[in-house]
Chain A
């Protein structure tokens, strides 16, 4: 019965092998969430990205009304797929501020003409500094910011019917 301990190293090796094999076969798809939730929105001030809409800065987020900050780009495909959802939210009276990442004016114009323009403001973030300040790791991402300018909630990836409910709940809670 003492010899059963001799099998321990082999058992440990099999366990180790299984863990490594599992990691290789199903690699973890890590989404890096911002750790800015519950903190004030960072200092930023972006010039207007399209004609006819003003730019956006942190001062615009502190006007007493909760709003969405949508980080997007015309070159980003999931951003086009979430456009109808943003359009619906804008129709419900929700103010959406856009931050356009590394974008060109003519591309943005074409994108908005094709997929609709739900934005009250769009700032041009050509070196992604504002995006990094928010702790955003990609496009599209959407932050709920309350009326005092505190970040309350984040959706990493596109807004779709499965997560829009949580977004609306967070917006309501931010009032």
Chain B
């Protein structure tokens, strides 16, 4: 019993090994811009930029320090009047198109647009074949 109590006490006083910054979040990371139109632009961009450390989340959804820093960077630059797409291009230049949730049209991503059209045409041909058979009867 005494060991259990001791263990419980130890668990309570032990602090986890912190692997996170002790600095507060960057300015503007969690504060909206005063101009609602600019804040809307910034928010829309943040929702389509991928967090680098918590992959699969956008930086708008992530609590990671780095996502906060990226939100701050986006808000500051939009506040200065930069266009969202120019900030996206700046980030893509550094991290590749992986960092953006809005895939650019390129040779690699062309199947995303071409294949649905292809499938639709195949569907038309199949349905067309069916309808012909029925008419013959």
Given that A107-B22, A132-B73 are contacting pairs, would A35 and B96 also be in contact in the complex, using a CB cutoff of 8 Å?
yes
Q: How far is the CB of B122 from chain A (nearest CB, A)?
A: 14
Given that A128-B66, A129-B69, A137-B52 are contacting pairs, would A102 and B95 also be in contact in the complex, using a CB cutoff of 8 Å?
no
Return chain B residues, CB-CB under 8 Å to A133. Answer: 94
Given that A32-B52, A128-B69 are contacting pairs, would A77 and B19 also be in contact in the complex, using a CB cutoff of 8 Å?
yes
Q: Quick one: which of B20, B21, B91 has the most chain A CB within 10 A?
A: B21
Return chain A residues, CB-CB under 8 Å to B85. Answer: none
Q: Does A73 contact B (CB under 8 A)?
A: yes
Q: Which positions 1-31 of chain B face chain A at CB distance < 8 Å?
A: 17-23, 26-27
Q: Given the complex of chains A and B, what is the CA–CA distance between A128 and B52 in angstroms?
A: 13
Q: Mark A51-80, 1 if CB is under 8 A from B, else 0.
A: 000000000000000000000010111000
Q: Given the complex of chains A and B, what is the CA–CA distance between A135 and B99 in angstroms?
A: 10
Q: Mark B32-73, 1 if CB is under 8 A from A, else 0.
A: 000000000000000000001101000000000110011011
Given that A32-B52, A127-B69 are contacting pairs, would A103 and B23 also be in contact in the complex, using a CB cutoff of 8 Å?
yes
Interface secondary structure of A, over-half rule: loop
Contact (Cβ within 8 A) B26 A134: no
Q: Given the complex of chains A and B, what is the CA–CA distance between A36 and B96 in angstroms?
A: 9
Return chain A residues, CB-CB under 8 Å to B23. Answer: 102-104, 126
Q: Does A30 contact B (CB under 8 A)?
A: yes
Q: Does A157 contact B (CB under 8 A)?
A: no
Q: Does A147 contact B (CB under 8 A)?
A: no
Contact (Cβ within 8 A) A32 B19: no
Given that A32-B52, A32-B99, A138-B53 are contacting pairs, would A101 and B21 also be in contact in the complex, using a CB cutoff of 8 Å?
yes
Return chain B residues, CB-CB under 8 Å to A138. Answer: 52-53, 66
Contact (Cβ within 8 A) B98 A32: yes
Q: Mark A104-137, 1 if CB is under 8 A from B, else 0.
A: 1001000000000000000000111101111101
Q: Which residues of B are interface residues toward A (Cβ below 8 A)?
A: 17-23, 26-27, 52-53, 55, 65-66, 69-70, 72-73, 91-96, 98-99
A-B complex: 3 closest residue pairs judged by Cβ atoms: A135-B94, A102-B21, A128-B69
